[in-house]
Structure 1
Amino acid sequence: MKKRFCTFLSLSAFSLTASAIEINAGQSTATIYGFAKLNMIYDVDARLGTFVTHKGIALDDENVAEGHTQFDASHSRLGVKILTDTPRGAVTTVIEGDFNTPAGTGPFRLRHAYAQWNGIIAGQYWTNFWGGLSTLPTLDHLGQVGQGAVLRQPQLRYTSDGFSIALEDGGSWRGSVSSSSDPSISPANKNELPDLTAKYQGKIGPAKAGISGVIRQIQYYDQASNSEESGFGYGINVETQIPLSDLITLRGAITYGQGMGGYQYQNPSDPAYVDTDGDLEVIDSFGTTLGLSLRAGPGSFNMGYGMSKADIDDAVEAGALSNAENESYDSIYLNYIWSPMSGVTYGLEAGRHTREAQNGDDGEAVRVQAQVVYAF
């Protein structure tokens, strides 16, 4: 591993500089931007993909191939931002995508597609349940588990003076209803109402703080009995970013809820299950993150922890989930990210990641990563 890691370092010696491309036409200015990124990864244990997938971590009693090197450029990004002046205020339109998939083979994936005007956002954008204050810079594209969802979804949002409220389409990432062991019950997800999210961010002295919440309806339909059940889930996320000095920044978040599903980032379980009586029951979950950044030289050292846990005891007892299902994930990161010149970023990172099943089985994986980014 040492020899391969040194190779990663030597490959980071090449650099270029560039700038975004602007095109003016009438009242509109279009900016073409993006970056080319090379990830150089060595998985000491099981292969985890182009970004860490906790489900792929081998348990201690599993025999798997160990030691995997992979290079990929699938996180490279391309976007267009158009600013148009109108008599009633400027309209900003953004379309952005990349090729980010666990296999690193594409196809082109839509990240953002939205328009913004006078505090209104319509389209696909970051979920309003996440504020970004607690997010530690990492080379691994996954980042810290356990915070508010670091994900994008279609929505209609209004923002004013630090407060924002949105109607969001939860999408498939928020999880599905787990079925019961009773073969007569075969639930299918049913979405009747959009999710409602709200967020407030402000400053307390030099510190930034935010709180966000989500209320959502969870439903399933059983075709065999022609019946449906529904319930409500909720989630709360509190996050902060505190500059301890000119060089040191502390970040942290706590997330808790019932029936949250994917609104808790990398929740190991579904939001709800159906018991043997056909009743829908929501699943409690909890997550937390902590991170510290220290400016040094041309960049920063970053170290952090993230944990995401679900309480699935009742679901296992009801037979909706087996005791081999995942109950918790966690990750530890240590990296140095620096920019020797405008438009160029290098990074080195080590990470330790674990998963634990409800029956107590667990496993860990270590990943070493280097990265080169040329932005324009």
Structure 2
Amino acid sequence: MQSNKLRMAIRATAAVVVAGMAGQAGAVSFNAGGWDSSVYGYASLKASYDIDENAASSTRSFNYSGINVGAAEDNEATGYFGADAFQSRIGFKTTSPEGVTFNVEGDFRGGGGGSLRLRHAYGSYNGILAGQTWSNFTSFVGSTSTLDFDSLPGLAGYQSRTPQLRYTTGALSISAEQPQNSIEGAGAAAKDGMPALTARFEDSSGGLSYSAAVLAQQLGYDTGTSDESAFGFATFVAAKIALSDMISIQGTLSFTEGASSYLYRAGVASAYVAPNGDVETISGYGGSIGAGFNLGNGRSMNLGVGMTEVDLDDGVADGVIAASTTQSVAAVMANYKWTPVKNVMMGVEYQYGMREVQSGDDGDANRLLFAAQYNF
């Protein structure tokens, strides 16, 4: 019984991280003709104050590319405030009498913010899922809960949604997905020659929850006269352990070769076209670690650190990648959240981020984030 309770707690925490904050989720449920259905979502306000940089994106998330480096950091603008409600979402989920589940969900982050964006649109039956949802090369097991919608760099896997065909049996899931590729120097000639293939194992035992996954993909280009390709792969491990009813520790580790899009928040190409026409892959690694503290009475605190780094030396030496390209990013986030009443969450978060480019120039930024979320 205790093991089941711990599993439920861990899965509930993972669901909170997916929502981007620790609010209590609700839903308007009903049954019609044997179909079990629910309408769910939330209204969310995010407000940020960038102390020494203008480093906010839509939903007021940390935009690491907005951190100035080198001499530009000495001339940075200070004191930027902004607020939006683009993270607000709505979804519909229903299960037929035969056990077929359908889910459609959207938010308002599309087009830079304000227009409807499709998040989930899939059906599933008897372990087979088809449509768009979280990539199978993703896990929230080792994620630290943050108010920042995009969270820490270095989390496990793609951390977003993609069209796919997936089969799940027990703790094992395999999938064929739309690849997420970019090749510096390939331009419009870049192509996907095959789906991205993934396998993920995720389970829990006692107070420990864990996940591991691998991904393989082909990336290349075809100009009509020249056709070159290479294979890329990625892997991650993630874990969370409940030390007590009040304290948890979680973390992730990732490595990629020719799959930088799957190194969360790395923000660089997966490969580049060398002067001789070959496709040269780019390697990278990342990770995160954090702790959560349940203070009781709907209050909690979370502290997390994350980073990514890629190897751009060969690409710069070949004259294909600019020395001003981001090589590494890192962040520290600490937040306090409270639930004054059921289905309402408010919180504040301090964020410190760093960016370094391949030339060695670096910079940092400090910011504050406020959030209010009303679930239904």
- TM-score normalised to structure 1 length: 0.88
Structure 2 equivalent of residue 92 of structure 1? 101
Q: Give the number of the structure whose residues are more often helix, by fraction.
A: 2
Q: Is the 8 A contact 1:268 1:328 kept in 2?
A: no
Q: Percent identity?
A: 36
Q: Distance in 2 between matches of 1:304 and 1:322?
A: 31
Q: Distance in 1 between matches of 2:78 and 2:111?
A: 18
Give the alignment of 1:1-376 within 5 angstroms. 20-47=27-54, 48-49=56-57, 50-62=60-72, 63-86=75-98, 90-100=99-109, 103=112, 105-147=113-155, 148-170=157-179, 174-179=180-185, 188-223=189-224, 226-297=225-296, 298-376=298-376
Q: Which amino acid aligns with 1:195?
A: A
Q: Which amino acid aligns with 1:316?
A: V
Q: Is the 8 A contact 2:102 2:124 kept in 1?
A: yes
Q: Distance in 1 between matches of 2:336 and 2:190?
A: 43
Q: Distance in 2 between matches of 1:331 and 1:146?
A: 10
Q: Which amino acid aligns with 2:261?
A: G
Q: Is the 8 A contact 2:260 2:283 kept in 1?
A: no
Structure 2 equivalent of residue 12 of structure 1? none
The SS at the match of 1:276 is coil
Q: Is the 8 A contact 2:256 2:262 kept in 1?
A: no
CA RMSD of aligned residues (A): 1.7
Deviation at 1:46, TM superposition (A): 2.3
Alpha-carbon displacement from aligned partner over 1:127-182 (angstroms, at most 9, x marks no partner): 11112101111111110111222111000001111000000002xxx341011xxx
Deviation at 1:203, TM superposition (A): 2.5
- Shift in alpha-carbon separation, 1:136–1:208, aligned structure 2, 3 A: same
Q: Is the 8 A contact 1:268 1:310 kept in 2?
A: no
Q: Is the 8 A contact 2:233 2:257 kept in 1?
A: yes
Q: Distance in 1 between matches of 2:79 and 2:187?
A: 40
Alpha-carbon displacement from aligned partner over 1:203-251 (angstroms, at most 9, x marks no partner): 244211111010000111235xx11101100111000001112211000
Q: Which amino acid aligns with 1:130?
A: T
- Shift in alpha-carbon separation, 1:307–1:102, aligned structure 2, 3 A: farther
Q: Which amino acid aligns with 2:42?
A: F
- Shift in alpha-carbon separation, 1:263–1:291, aligned structure 2, 3 A: same
The SS at the match of 2:316 is helix
Alpha-carbon displacement from aligned partner over 1:33-63 (angstroms, at most 9, x marks no partner): 1100011111112222221111111224212
Q: Distance in 1 between matches of 2:273 and 2:213?
A: 28
Q: Is the 8 A contact 2:40 2:91 kept in 1?
A: yes
Q: Is the 8 A contact 1:188 1:220 kept in 2?
A: yes
- Shift in alpha-carbon separation, 1:101–1:336, aligned structure 2, 3 A: farther
Task: Give the length in aligned residue pairs.
Answer: 346
Deviation at 1:186, TM superposition (A): 5.6
Deviation at 1:318, TM superposition (A): 0.9
Q: Which amino acid aligns with 1:258?
A: E
Q: Is the 8 A contact 1:330 1:353 kept in 2?
A: yes
Q: Distance in 2 between matches of 1:320 and 1:205?
A: 50
- Shift in alpha-carbon separation, 1:102–1:346, aligned structure 2, 3 A: farther
The SS at the match of 2:109 is coil
Q: Distance in 2 between matches of 1:272 and 1:39?
A: 35
Q: Distance in 2 between matches of 1:74 and 1:268?
A: 22
Deviation at 1:187, TM superposition (A): 6.3
Query: Tell me, which stretches of 5 or more residues in structure 1 are unaligned?
Result: 1-16, 180-184
Q: Which amino acid aligns with 1:54?
A: Y
Q: Is the 8 A contact 2:45 2:83 kept in 1?
A: yes
